[in-house]
A and B are shown apart, each in its own frame.
Chain A
Amino acid sequence: MDGAEAVYIRGRSPLTEYQYTNIRQGRVVWFAWANFGDSADTQDFEIYNHMAASLKFGDQSPISLQDIYGSDFRPNGLNSFSSGSAKSHHLAALLPQRPQIASNWWSPVLNSYGNQWPITCGSAMHRNGSYYAADVGAPENWQVRTANVGQVEFTGWNPSGYGNLVKMGPYGGGVGYRHYYAHLIGITWPATQVGNYIDRDVVIGWVGGTGGVPVHLHFHVQDGQYESISNGVTLVGMYGFRDNPGDPYYPCNDGVSHYNCAWMGR
Protein backbone atom coordinates (compact mmCIF):
# COMPACT_ATOMS: atom_id res chain seq x y z
CA MET A 1 0.00 0.00 0.00
CA ASP A 2 1.39 3.32 -1.03
CA GLY A 3 4.51 1.46 -2.05
CA ALA A 4 4.99 -0.27 1.30
CA GLU A 5 4.77 -3.95 2.03
CA ALA A 6 1.44 -4.94 3.50
CA VAL A 7 0.07 -7.92 5.32
CA TYR A 8 -3.60 -8.39 4.86
CA ILE A 9 -5.41 -10.07 7.68
CA ARG A 10 -8.97 -11.12 7.91
CA GLY A 11 -10.89 -13.10 10.41
CA ARG A 12 -13.69 -13.14 12.88
CA SER A 13 -13.53 -11.69 16.33
CA PRO A 14 -15.89 -12.62 19.13
CA LEU A 15 -18.05 -9.73 18.14
CA THR A 16 -17.81 -9.42 14.42
CA GLU A 17 -15.88 -10.18 11.34
CA TYR A 18 -12.95 -7.93 10.86
CA GLN A 19 -10.50 -7.16 8.15
CA TYR A 20 -7.47 -5.02 8.34
CA THR A 21 -4.17 -4.36 6.80
CA ASN A 22 -0.82 -4.05 8.43
CA ILE A 23 1.55 -1.88 6.49
CA ARG A 24 5.20 -1.74 7.26
CA GLN A 25 6.94 1.43 6.29
CA GLY A 26 10.49 1.06 7.43
CA ARG A 27 10.14 -0.01 11.02
CA VAL A 28 6.78 1.62 11.50
CA VAL A 29 3.70 -0.51 11.40
CA TRP A 30 0.45 0.99 10.35
CA PHE A 31 -2.95 -0.58 10.54
CA ALA A 32 -6.04 0.07 8.58
CA TRP A 33 -9.08 -1.92 9.51
CA ALA A 34 -12.76 -2.22 9.09
CA ASN A 35 -15.32 -4.13 11.04
CA PHE A 36 -17.75 -6.10 9.01
CA GLY A 37 -20.75 -7.82 10.43
CA ASP A 38 -22.16 -11.02 9.06
CA SER A 39 -24.12 -8.94 6.60
CA ALA A 40 -21.01 -7.59 4.92
CA ASP A 41 -21.63 -7.26 1.25
CA THR A 42 -19.79 -6.33 -1.89
CA GLN A 43 -20.12 -2.65 -1.16
CA ASP A 44 -18.49 -3.04 2.25
CA PHE A 45 -15.52 -4.73 0.69
CA GLU A 46 -15.35 -2.16 -2.05
CA ILE A 47 -15.23 0.59 0.55
CA TYR A 48 -12.45 -1.22 2.30
CA ASN A 49 -10.58 -1.77 -0.93
CA HIS A 50 -10.93 1.85 -1.87
CA MET A 51 -9.61 2.85 1.51
CA ALA A 52 -6.68 0.49 1.16
CA ALA A 53 -5.89 1.56 -2.37
CA SER A 54 -6.05 5.25 -1.59
CA LEU A 55 -4.01 5.18 1.59
CA LYS A 56 -1.14 7.65 1.57
CA PHE A 57 1.48 8.07 4.20
CA GLY A 58 1.86 11.48 5.76
CA ASP A 59 5.04 13.29 6.54
CA GLN A 60 5.02 12.63 10.25
CA SER A 61 5.99 9.22 11.52
CA PRO A 62 3.91 7.88 14.34
CA ILE A 63 5.26 5.90 17.22
CA SER A 64 5.96 2.42 15.97
CA LEU A 65 3.93 -0.43 17.36
CA GLN A 66 7.14 -2.14 18.29
CA ASP A 67 7.76 0.81 20.54
CA ILE A 68 4.36 0.30 22.03
CA TYR A 69 4.18 -3.46 22.20
CA GLY A 70 7.82 -4.39 22.39
CA SER A 71 10.52 -5.39 19.98
CA ASP A 72 9.18 -8.93 19.69
CA PHE A 73 5.96 -7.67 18.19
CA ARG A 74 5.00 -9.71 15.14
CA PRO A 75 2.16 -9.03 12.77
CA ASN A 76 0.95 -12.57 13.10
CA GLY A 77 0.37 -11.87 16.76
CA LEU A 78 -2.75 -10.17 15.54
CA ASN A 79 -4.09 -13.55 14.68
CA SER A 80 -4.96 -14.21 18.25
CA PHE A 81 -8.52 -13.02 18.24
CA SER A 82 -10.85 -15.90 18.65
CA SER A 83 -13.54 -17.17 20.84
CA GLY A 84 -14.62 -20.61 21.76
CA SER A 85 -17.80 -20.58 19.80
CA ALA A 86 -16.97 -18.26 16.96
CA LYS A 87 -15.66 -19.75 13.80
CA SER A 88 -12.14 -18.56 13.66
CA HIS A 89 -10.17 -18.34 10.47
CA HIS A 90 -7.44 -15.87 10.98
CA LEU A 91 -5.40 -15.35 7.95
CA ALA A 92 -2.30 -13.54 7.00
CA ALA A 93 -3.53 -13.28 3.48
CA LEU A 94 -0.99 -11.23 1.66
CA LEU A 95 2.09 -13.12 2.54
CA PRO A 96 5.44 -11.45 3.04
CA GLN A 97 7.31 -14.63 2.20
CA ARG A 98 6.81 -17.67 0.03
CA PRO A 99 5.32 -20.60 1.89
CA GLN A 100 5.12 -24.06 0.41
CA ILE A 101 1.97 -24.96 -1.37
CA ALA A 102 -0.25 -26.97 0.93
CA SER A 103 -0.83 -30.61 0.10
CA ASN A 104 -4.51 -30.30 0.86
CA TRP A 105 -6.55 -27.99 -1.26
CA TRP A 106 -9.62 -26.50 0.30
CA SER A 107 -12.94 -26.05 -1.33
CA PRO A 108 -13.16 -22.47 -2.63
CA VAL A 109 -16.64 -22.08 -1.18
CA LEU A 110 -17.98 -22.61 2.29
CA ASN A 111 -21.12 -24.58 2.83
CA SER A 112 -24.37 -23.07 3.91
CA TYR A 113 -25.58 -24.34 7.27
CA GLY A 114 -23.96 -27.65 6.56
CA ASN A 115 -25.29 -28.02 3.04
CA GLN A 116 -22.83 -28.25 0.20
CA TRP A 117 -23.34 -26.74 -3.21
CA PRO A 118 -23.95 -29.02 -6.16
CA ILE A 119 -21.34 -29.36 -8.84
CA THR A 120 -22.48 -29.81 -12.39
CA CYS A 121 -19.62 -31.29 -14.22
CA GLY A 122 -18.62 -32.86 -17.44
CA SER A 123 -19.28 -29.75 -19.49
CA ALA A 124 -17.82 -30.09 -22.94
CA MET A 125 -16.28 -26.70 -22.32
CA HIS A 126 -14.14 -28.34 -19.70
CA ARG A 127 -13.43 -31.58 -21.42
CA ASN A 128 -10.81 -31.71 -24.06
CA GLY A 129 -8.92 -34.94 -23.86
CA SER A 130 -8.51 -35.47 -20.17
CA TYR A 131 -9.15 -32.28 -18.34
CA TYR A 132 -12.04 -31.32 -16.19
CA ALA A 133 -13.26 -28.50 -14.07
CA ALA A 134 -15.94 -28.01 -11.49
CA ASP A 135 -18.92 -25.75 -11.99
CA VAL A 136 -20.11 -25.07 -8.50
CA GLY A 137 -23.72 -24.05 -8.11
CA ALA A 138 -23.19 -21.56 -5.31
CA PRO A 139 -25.42 -18.48 -5.32
CA GLU A 140 -24.53 -15.05 -6.55
CA ASN A 141 -22.37 -13.03 -4.18
CA TRP A 142 -21.26 -16.12 -2.27
CA GLN A 143 -17.69 -15.69 -1.13
CA VAL A 144 -14.97 -17.32 -3.22
CA ARG A 145 -11.83 -18.29 -1.33
CA THR A 146 -8.41 -19.36 -2.41
CA ALA A 147 -8.08 -23.12 -2.41
CA ASN A 148 -4.37 -22.95 -1.79
CA VAL A 149 -1.55 -20.45 -1.49
CA GLY A 150 -0.31 -18.80 -4.62
CA GLN A 151 0.63 -15.68 -6.46
CA VAL A 152 -1.87 -13.71 -8.49
CA GLU A 153 -0.97 -14.18 -12.15
CA PHE A 154 -4.05 -12.65 -13.66
CA THR A 155 -6.93 -10.65 -12.30
CA GLY A 156 -9.70 -8.97 -14.22
CA TRP A 157 -11.73 -9.51 -17.32
CA ASN A 158 -10.96 -12.52 -19.43
CA PRO A 159 -12.22 -11.96 -22.96
CA SER A 160 -12.60 -15.60 -23.94
CA GLY A 161 -15.54 -16.44 -21.72
CA TYR A 162 -14.25 -16.70 -18.17
CA GLY A 163 -15.61 -13.26 -17.36
CA ASN A 164 -14.05 -11.89 -14.21
CA LEU A 165 -11.20 -14.24 -13.48
CA VAL A 166 -8.59 -14.69 -10.79
CA LYS A 167 -5.75 -16.94 -11.81
CA MET A 168 -3.31 -17.99 -9.14
CA GLY A 169 0.03 -19.57 -9.89
CA PRO A 170 3.16 -20.80 -8.22
CA TYR A 171 5.38 -18.24 -6.61
CA GLY A 172 7.62 -16.63 -9.12
CA GLY A 173 5.86 -18.31 -12.02
CA GLY A 174 7.30 -21.37 -13.70
CA VAL A 175 6.02 -24.88 -13.39
CA GLY A 176 3.45 -25.68 -10.76
CA TYR A 177 -0.20 -25.69 -9.89
CA ARG A 178 -2.39 -22.96 -11.22
CA HIS A 179 -5.88 -22.40 -9.87
CA TYR A 180 -8.66 -20.59 -11.67
CA TYR A 181 -11.73 -18.88 -10.20
CA ALA A 182 -13.99 -17.64 -12.96
CA HIS A 183 -17.27 -15.86 -13.70
CA LEU A 184 -16.89 -13.80 -10.54
CA ILE A 185 -19.26 -10.92 -10.06
CA GLY A 186 -16.49 -9.04 -8.30
CA ILE A 187 -12.87 -9.41 -7.28
CA THR A 188 -11.48 -8.07 -4.06
CA TRP A 189 -8.14 -7.21 -2.58
CA PRO A 190 -5.63 -8.81 -2.37
CA ALA A 191 -6.56 -10.62 -5.58
CA THR A 192 -6.94 -7.35 -7.43
CA GLN A 193 -3.20 -6.97 -7.78
CA VAL A 194 -1.06 -9.20 -9.97
CA GLY A 195 1.98 -10.41 -8.06
CA ASN A 196 0.41 -10.53 -4.63
CA TYR A 197 1.13 -13.64 -2.62
CA ILE A 198 -2.08 -14.91 -1.11
CA ASP A 199 -2.66 -17.47 1.56
CA ARG A 200 -5.19 -20.28 1.42
CA ASP A 201 -8.80 -19.58 2.38
CA VAL A 202 -8.70 -15.88 1.62
CA VAL A 203 -11.74 -14.24 0.11
CA ILE A 204 -10.80 -13.10 -3.37
CA GLY A 205 -14.20 -12.41 -4.87
CA TRP A 206 -17.83 -13.38 -5.16
CA VAL A 207 -19.71 -15.88 -7.24
CA GLY A 208 -21.31 -14.44 -10.35
CA GLY A 209 -22.38 -15.16 -13.88
CA THR A 210 -20.00 -12.99 -15.87
CA GLY A 211 -18.84 -14.28 -19.22
CA GLY A 212 -22.32 -15.03 -20.48
CA VAL A 213 -23.12 -17.96 -18.22
CA PRO A 214 -25.64 -18.70 -15.50
CA VAL A 215 -24.45 -17.89 -11.99
CA HIS A 216 -21.87 -20.34 -10.78
CA LEU A 217 -18.23 -20.65 -9.82
CA HIS A 218 -15.88 -22.23 -12.31
CA PHE A 219 -12.99 -23.70 -10.42
CA HIS A 220 -10.14 -25.80 -11.60
CA VAL A 221 -6.59 -26.59 -10.72
CA GLN A 222 -4.19 -26.91 -13.56
CA ASP A 223 -1.02 -28.86 -13.35
CA GLY A 224 0.89 -28.43 -16.54
CA GLN A 225 -1.35 -28.21 -19.54
CA TYR A 226 -4.42 -29.90 -18.12
CA GLU A 227 -7.38 -28.59 -16.23
CA SER A 228 -7.99 -30.89 -13.37
CA ILE A 229 -9.26 -30.99 -9.88
CA SER A 230 -8.21 -34.57 -9.43
CA ASN A 231 -4.75 -34.64 -10.82
CA GLY A 232 -2.88 -35.29 -7.62
CA VAL A 233 -5.02 -32.81 -5.77
CA THR A 234 -6.85 -33.63 -2.59
CA LEU A 235 -9.63 -31.17 -2.21
CA VAL A 236 -11.02 -30.78 1.28
CA GLY A 237 -14.69 -30.00 1.19
CA MET A 238 -15.63 -31.78 -1.98
CA TYR A 239 -17.79 -34.86 -2.03
CA GLY A 240 -18.73 -37.04 -4.89
CA PHE A 241 -17.02 -39.56 -7.09
CA ARG A 242 -13.96 -41.47 -6.24
CA ASP A 243 -12.62 -44.52 -7.94
CA ASN A 244 -11.46 -46.34 -4.88
CA PRO A 245 -11.89 -45.95 -1.15
CA GLY A 246 -9.24 -43.59 0.05
CA ASP A 247 -8.90 -41.85 -3.27
CA PRO A 248 -9.51 -38.13 -3.33
CA TYR A 249 -12.94 -37.04 -4.37
CA TYR A 250 -13.47 -35.44 -7.69
CA PRO A 251 -16.60 -34.71 -9.65
CA CYS A 252 -16.01 -36.25 -13.02
CA ASN A 253 -13.95 -39.21 -13.92
CA ASP A 254 -15.48 -40.63 -17.04
CA GLY A 255 -15.63 -37.73 -19.45
CA VAL A 256 -19.41 -37.78 -19.56
CA SER A 257 -21.70 -34.99 -18.50
CA HIS A 258 -23.21 -35.35 -15.09
CA TYR A 259 -25.44 -33.06 -13.18
CA ASN A 260 -25.30 -32.61 -9.45
CA CYS A 261 -22.77 -35.37 -9.45
CA ALA A 262 -20.80 -33.99 -6.57
CA TRP A 263 -20.97 -31.38 -3.89
CA MET A 264 -18.61 -28.74 -2.67
CA GLY A 265 -18.49 -26.70 0.50
CA ARG A 266 -16.76 -27.03 3.81
Chain B
Amino acid sequence: MNFIQYRQVREEKAYTCSRNLFLVCALLIGVFSIGCATFRGPGPATQVPSASVYSSPQVLGEPMEATLVEGALRVPIRCTAREEGLVSFVNSDDGYCLLYPARFRVGDIRPGIANIYGPPLDQHALQPIATGVSILVLGSAADRTLVQIVDEHVKPYADQSPLTRTTAKLGGELAVVVEGVTDRVGSRQIFVIHNGIVYHLTFYPVDEAYPQAASDVEDLWKIVVASFSFLSFESNR
Protein backbone atom coordinates (compact mmCIF):
# COMPACT_ATOMS: atom_id res chain seq x y z
CA MET B 1 0.00 0.00 0.00
CA ASN B 2 1.29 3.41 -0.86
CA PHE B 3 1.16 5.83 1.96
CA ILE B 4 1.44 9.44 1.26
CA GLN B 5 4.39 10.85 2.99
CA TYR B 6 4.19 14.49 3.52
CA ARG B 7 5.65 17.17 5.63
CA GLN B 8 3.84 20.19 6.82
CA VAL B 9 6.07 23.11 7.29
CA ARG B 10 4.29 26.03 8.83
CA GLU B 11 5.28 29.57 8.11
CA GLU B 12 6.66 30.14 11.53
CA LYS B 13 8.63 26.94 11.47
CA ALA B 14 9.90 27.30 7.96
CA TYR B 15 13.45 27.67 6.96
CA THR B 16 15.51 29.98 9.02
CA CYS B 17 18.36 30.05 6.62
CA SER B 18 18.80 33.03 4.41
CA ARG B 19 17.69 33.18 0.81
CA ASN B 20 21.24 32.70 -0.36
CA LEU B 21 21.68 29.72 1.87
CA PHE B 22 18.48 28.29 0.50
CA LEU B 23 19.65 28.63 -3.04
CA VAL B 24 22.70 26.62 -2.10
CA CYS B 25 20.47 24.05 -0.44
CA ALA B 26 18.19 23.92 -3.46
CA LEU B 27 21.16 23.45 -5.73
CA LEU B 28 22.42 20.57 -3.64
CA ILE B 29 18.98 18.98 -3.57
CA GLY B 30 18.69 19.38 -7.30
CA VAL B 31 22.07 17.76 -7.90
CA PHE B 32 21.16 14.98 -5.51
CA SER B 33 17.82 14.46 -7.22
CA ILE B 34 19.28 14.32 -10.66
CA GLY B 35 21.80 11.81 -9.49
CA CYS B 36 19.34 9.57 -7.71
CA ALA B 37 16.06 9.81 -9.52
CA THR B 38 14.86 7.12 -11.82
CA PHE B 39 12.25 7.47 -14.50
CA ARG B 40 8.75 7.95 -13.16
CA GLY B 41 5.86 7.51 -15.53
CA PRO B 42 2.53 9.21 -15.02
CA GLY B 43 -0.55 7.51 -13.63
CA PRO B 44 -1.95 6.71 -10.23
CA ALA B 45 -0.41 3.25 -10.06
CA THR B 46 3.07 4.49 -10.67
CA GLN B 47 5.57 4.64 -7.87
CA VAL B 48 6.29 8.27 -7.35
CA PRO B 49 8.64 10.21 -5.15
CA SER B 50 7.51 11.12 -1.71
CA ALA B 51 5.25 14.09 -1.54
CA SER B 52 6.55 17.23 -0.02
CA VAL B 53 4.82 20.20 1.45
CA TYR B 54 6.34 23.58 1.84
CA SER B 55 5.02 26.94 2.71
CA SER B 56 7.70 29.51 2.73
CA PRO B 57 7.34 32.17 0.06
CA GLN B 58 10.93 33.14 0.58
CA VAL B 59 12.04 29.67 -0.14
CA LEU B 60 10.23 29.00 -3.37
CA GLY B 61 10.06 32.43 -4.82
CA GLU B 62 11.26 31.78 -8.31
CA PRO B 63 9.31 29.75 -10.83
CA MET B 64 12.22 27.68 -11.98
CA GLU B 65 13.15 26.85 -8.42
CA ALA B 66 9.60 26.01 -7.59
CA THR B 67 9.24 23.43 -10.30
CA LEU B 68 12.35 21.53 -9.41
CA VAL B 69 11.77 19.40 -6.36
CA GLU B 70 12.40 15.89 -5.24
CA GLY B 71 13.18 13.35 -7.91
CA ALA B 72 11.29 13.85 -11.12
CA LEU B 73 8.21 15.34 -9.52
CA ARG B 74 7.39 18.71 -11.01
CA VAL B 75 5.40 20.93 -8.70
CA PRO B 76 3.69 23.84 -10.43
CA ILE B 77 4.40 27.30 -9.19
CA ARG B 78 0.75 27.79 -8.32
CA CYS B 79 1.18 25.24 -5.54
CA THR B 80 4.05 26.99 -3.87
CA ALA B 81 3.13 29.09 -0.90
CA ARG B 82 4.25 32.56 -1.85
CA GLU B 83 2.10 34.42 0.62
CA GLU B 84 1.98 34.53 4.36
CA GLY B 85 -0.62 32.22 5.85
CA LEU B 86 -0.71 29.64 3.09
CA VAL B 87 0.46 26.06 3.15
CA SER B 88 1.16 23.82 0.20
CA PHE B 89 -0.13 20.29 0.03
CA VAL B 90 1.38 18.01 -2.57
CA ASN B 91 -0.33 14.67 -3.04
CA SER B 92 1.96 12.80 -5.36
CA ASP B 93 0.07 9.54 -5.01
CA ASP B 94 -3.09 11.10 -6.41
CA GLY B 95 -1.31 13.50 -8.72
CA TYR B 96 -2.25 16.97 -7.57
CA CYS B 97 -1.17 19.81 -5.37
CA LEU B 98 -2.87 22.84 -3.87
CA LEU B 99 -2.61 25.59 -1.32
CA TYR B 100 -4.73 25.97 1.76
CA PRO B 101 -4.98 28.45 4.62
CA ALA B 102 -2.45 27.79 7.35
CA ARG B 103 -5.13 27.73 10.02
CA PHE B 104 -6.55 24.61 8.38
CA ARG B 105 -5.07 21.15 8.63
CA VAL B 106 -4.76 18.09 6.42
CA GLY B 107 -6.37 14.89 7.67
CA ASP B 108 -7.82 11.51 6.79
CA ILE B 109 -5.46 10.86 3.91
CA ARG B 110 -5.59 7.56 2.14
CA PRO B 111 -5.37 6.48 -1.47
CA GLY B 112 -7.94 8.46 -3.40
CA ILE B 113 -9.03 10.56 -0.44
CA ALA B 114 -7.61 13.64 1.22
CA ASN B 115 -9.27 16.20 3.43
CA ILE B 116 -8.51 19.67 4.67
CA TYR B 117 -10.29 20.65 7.83
CA GLY B 118 -10.83 24.09 9.26
CA PRO B 119 -10.69 25.13 12.88
CA PRO B 120 -13.80 24.67 15.01
CA LEU B 121 -16.09 27.67 14.90
CA ASP B 122 -18.02 26.90 18.06
CA GLN B 123 -17.37 25.22 21.36
CA HIS B 124 -19.19 21.99 20.89
CA ALA B 125 -16.96 19.24 22.16
CA LEU B 126 -17.54 16.47 19.68
CA GLN B 127 -19.19 18.02 16.68
CA PRO B 128 -18.21 21.63 16.26
CA ILE B 129 -19.10 23.59 13.19
CA ALA B 130 -16.10 23.55 10.90
CA THR B 131 -15.31 24.11 7.28
CA GLY B 132 -13.68 21.49 5.13
CA VAL B 133 -12.93 20.22 1.71
CA SER B 134 -12.81 16.58 0.75
CA ILE B 135 -10.80 15.72 -2.33
CA LEU B 136 -11.73 12.42 -3.89
CA VAL B 137 -10.24 10.64 -6.85
CA LEU B 138 -13.21 8.77 -8.24
CA GLY B 139 -11.30 6.67 -10.72
CA SER B 140 -11.52 6.33 -14.44
CA ALA B 141 -14.08 8.33 -16.35
CA ALA B 142 -14.23 5.43 -18.80
CA ASP B 143 -16.37 6.58 -21.71
CA ARG B 144 -18.40 9.04 -19.70
CA THR B 145 -18.33 12.74 -20.24
CA LEU B 146 -17.97 15.16 -17.37
CA VAL B 147 -21.63 16.08 -17.67
CA GLN B 148 -22.65 12.44 -17.46
CA ILE B 149 -20.53 11.94 -14.39
CA VAL B 150 -22.08 14.95 -12.70
CA ASP B 151 -25.54 13.73 -13.68
CA GLU B 152 -24.88 10.40 -12.01
CA HIS B 153 -23.55 12.04 -8.91
CA VAL B 154 -26.39 14.49 -8.34
CA LYS B 155 -29.15 12.10 -9.32
CA PRO B 156 -29.90 11.09 -5.69
CA TYR B 157 -30.31 14.76 -4.86
CA ALA B 158 -32.57 15.58 -7.76
CA ASP B 159 -35.47 16.40 -5.48
CA GLN B 160 -33.42 19.04 -3.73
CA SER B 161 -33.85 22.42 -5.23
CA PRO B 162 -32.41 24.43 -6.56
CA LEU B 163 -29.32 22.62 -7.78
CA THR B 164 -27.20 24.97 -9.80
CA ARG B 165 -24.47 24.15 -12.24
CA THR B 166 -21.79 26.42 -13.56
CA THR B 167 -18.51 25.86 -15.27
CA ALA B 168 -15.08 26.81 -14.04
CA LYS B 169 -11.45 25.90 -14.49
CA LEU B 170 -9.69 23.60 -12.10
CA GLY B 171 -6.10 22.65 -12.64
CA GLY B 172 -6.33 24.04 -16.15
CA GLU B 173 -9.20 21.73 -17.04
CA LEU B 174 -12.82 22.56 -17.64
CA ALA B 175 -14.78 21.77 -14.51
CA VAL B 176 -18.41 21.67 -13.43
CA VAL B 177 -19.46 23.33 -10.18
CA VAL B 178 -22.61 22.13 -8.46
CA GLU B 179 -24.27 23.97 -5.62
CA GLY B 180 -27.34 23.14 -3.64
CA VAL B 181 -26.59 19.53 -2.79
CA THR B 182 -27.42 19.00 0.86
CA ASP B 183 -26.13 15.86 2.41
CA ARG B 184 -24.89 16.29 5.94
CA VAL B 185 -24.84 19.97 5.18
CA GLY B 186 -25.08 22.04 2.06
CA SER B 187 -21.99 21.98 -0.11
CA ARG B 188 -20.32 23.29 -3.22
CA GLN B 189 -18.84 20.58 -5.37
CA ILE B 190 -16.52 20.71 -8.31
CA PHE B 191 -15.84 17.92 -10.76
CA VAL B 192 -13.04 17.67 -13.25
CA ILE B 193 -11.45 15.02 -15.48
CA HIS B 194 -7.72 14.94 -15.98
CA ASN B 195 -5.96 12.24 -17.98
CA GLY B 196 -9.14 10.19 -17.88
CA ILE B 197 -9.37 10.30 -14.08
CA VAL B 198 -12.28 11.96 -12.27
CA TYR B 199 -11.50 14.34 -9.43
CA HIS B 200 -14.21 15.54 -7.10
CA LEU B 201 -13.87 18.28 -4.49
CA THR B 202 -16.59 18.99 -1.94
CA PHE B 203 -16.49 22.21 0.06
CA TYR B 204 -18.74 22.48 3.10
CA PRO B 205 -20.76 23.92 4.62
CA VAL B 206 -22.14 26.14 1.89
CA ASP B 207 -25.35 26.48 3.72
CA GLU B 208 -27.40 29.38 5.00
CA ALA B 209 -27.88 27.51 8.24
CA TYR B 210 -24.22 28.05 9.07
CA PRO B 211 -23.44 31.70 8.45
CA GLN B 212 -20.52 31.54 10.85
CA ALA B 213 -18.74 29.25 8.39
CA ALA B 214 -19.32 31.35 5.30
CA SER B 215 -16.09 33.28 5.53
CA ASP B 216 -13.94 30.21 6.10
CA VAL B 217 -15.47 28.20 3.32
CA GLU B 218 -15.15 31.04 0.82
CA ASP B 219 -11.51 31.53 1.77
CA LEU B 220 -10.88 27.85 1.35
CA TRP B 221 -12.69 27.74 -1.97
CA LYS B 222 -10.81 30.65 -3.45
CA ILE B 223 -7.40 29.46 -2.35
CA VAL B 224 -7.85 25.81 -3.26
CA VAL B 225 -9.46 26.39 -6.65
CA ALA B 226 -6.92 29.04 -7.62
CA SER B 227 -3.98 26.88 -6.70
CA PHE B 228 -5.14 23.37 -7.54
CA SER B 229 -2.82 21.87 -10.11
CA PHE B 230 -2.17 18.47 -11.55
CA LEU B 231 1.29 17.09 -11.16
CA SER B 232 3.44 15.88 -13.93
CA PHE B 233 6.29 13.46 -13.73
CA GLU B 234 9.27 13.80 -15.95
CA SER B 235 12.29 11.80 -16.72
CA ASN B 236 15.56 13.09 -15.41
CA ARG B 237 17.56 11.37 -18.06
Contacts and interface: CB of A to CB of B under 8 A. Distances in A.
B210 interface: yes
Contacts of A211: 108, 115, 132
Given A160-B184, A161-B185, A126 B134 contact: no
A157 B136 contact: yes
B191 to A, nearest CB: 12
Nearest to B110: A157
A210 B124 contact: no
A124 B124 contact: yes
Contacts of B132: 161, 211-212
Nearest to B208: A128
A17 to B, nearest CB: 28
A265 interface: no
A125 B189 CA distance: 19
B128 interface: yes
Contacts, number: 77
A120 B125 contact: yes
Interface size class of A (residues with CB under 8 A): 20 to 34
A214 interface: yes
Given A123-B124, A213-B127, A160 B108 contact: no
B187 A160 contact: yes
A16 interface: no
Given A158-B184, A159-B200, A159-B202, A137 B136 contact: no
A208 to B, nearest CB: 10
Interface in B102-132: 107-108, 113, 115, 117, 122, 124-130, 132
B228 interface: no
Given A125-B127, A213-B126, A157 B185 contact: no
Contacts of A81: none
Interface in A150-198: 157-163, 182
B184 A162 contact: yes
Nearest to B105: A212
B17 interface: no
A212 B130 CA distance: 8
B126 A216 contact: yes
